[in-house]
């Protein structure tokens, strides 16, 4: 087995006295684990930071064997870990991805979206510029793993206009007329989660995160993966403080 690809570092786990097992997301081969000799050294620690873009070379004699991985830094996002909010965003995005995606299966849309969100975290002058993208990334991940939400038409009437809510049971959109009297049992649907474009306000961002968080916890973050939700809680707490 030989894979050479640009990849996003997702997780780094110490292995042995000096090495590390690294999982990184490639565009065409999905999440790939590999053993990096000397991965805990001073030279490689700054390279093997979650969120960094690397050039990886995975080699193994058999598909079932853990590949030996050599890495070269393409782009470092390590300086962002000096700031609490960007650090929390990178921690959650990479943790979510490695906890939910099966290894060795291609998810090119997820790779492209994760790279775009990380770039936005790096470039935006304030968290409001990228926080909505976190919710959209979570929505995409749900869809890619078979738990997509139906936000294009009303789950009750089939109407495509004036969609204002989401059912916590079906994951389908609900038109305002159909939701009359039941609003308290539904999630408000922020328009940007359907339409995209522009930077949403804080209220819309938190509404979107409430929707995606509910379905992540119900459908994806189960068993051992549920332990990683603490990283999401830390991120949202920091976002609320930033929103004032």
**Residue 162: closest CA among 191, 137, 127, 197:** 191
pLDDT of residue 164: 96
User: For the chain, what are the domain ranges?
Assistant: 2-76, 79-243
CATH 1.20.1440.120 is right for the domain spanning 79-243: yes
Residue 198 in this model has a pLDDT that exceeds 80: no
- CA-nearest of 143, 144, 140, 116 to 130 is 116
| Nearest residue to 163 via CA among 137, 142, 189, 145 | 189
Q: Is the pLDDT of residue 130 over 80?
A: yes
CATH number of the 2-76 domain: 2.40.50.140
Q: Residues 12-63: pLDDT tens digits? A: 999 988 899 999 999 999 999 999 999 999 899 999 999 999 999 999 998 7
């Amino acid at each position: 087995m030989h894979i050479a690809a640009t990849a996003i570092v997702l997780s780094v786990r110490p292995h042995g006295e000096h090495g590390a097992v690294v999982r990184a997301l490639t565009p065409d081969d999905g999440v790939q684990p590999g053993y990096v000799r000397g991965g805990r050294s001073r030279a490689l620690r700054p390279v093997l930071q979650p969120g960094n873009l690397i050039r990886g070379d995975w080699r193994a004699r058999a598909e079932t064997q853990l590949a030996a991985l050599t890495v070269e830094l393409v782009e470092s996002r390590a300086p962002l870990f000096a700031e609490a909010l960007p650090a929390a965003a990178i921690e959650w995005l990479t943790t979510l991805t490695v906890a939910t995606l099966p290894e060795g299966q291609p998810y090119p849309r997820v790779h492209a979206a994760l790279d775009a969100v990380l770039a936005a975290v790096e470039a935006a002058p304030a968290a409001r510029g990228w926080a909505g993208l976190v919710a959209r990334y979570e929505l995409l991940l749900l869809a890619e793993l078979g738990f997509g939400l139906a936000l294009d038409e009303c789950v009750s009437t089939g109407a495509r206009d004036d969609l204002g809510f989401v059912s916590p049971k079906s994951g389908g959109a609900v038109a305002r007329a159909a939701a009359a009297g039941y609003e308290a049992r539904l999630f408000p649907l922020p328009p940007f989660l359907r339409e995209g474009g522009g930077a949403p306000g804080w209220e819309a961002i938190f509404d979107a995160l409430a929707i995606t968080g509910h379905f992540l916890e119900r459908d994806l973050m189960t068993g051992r993966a549920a332990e990683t939700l603490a990283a999401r809680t830390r991120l949202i707490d920091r976002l609320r403080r930033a929103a004032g």
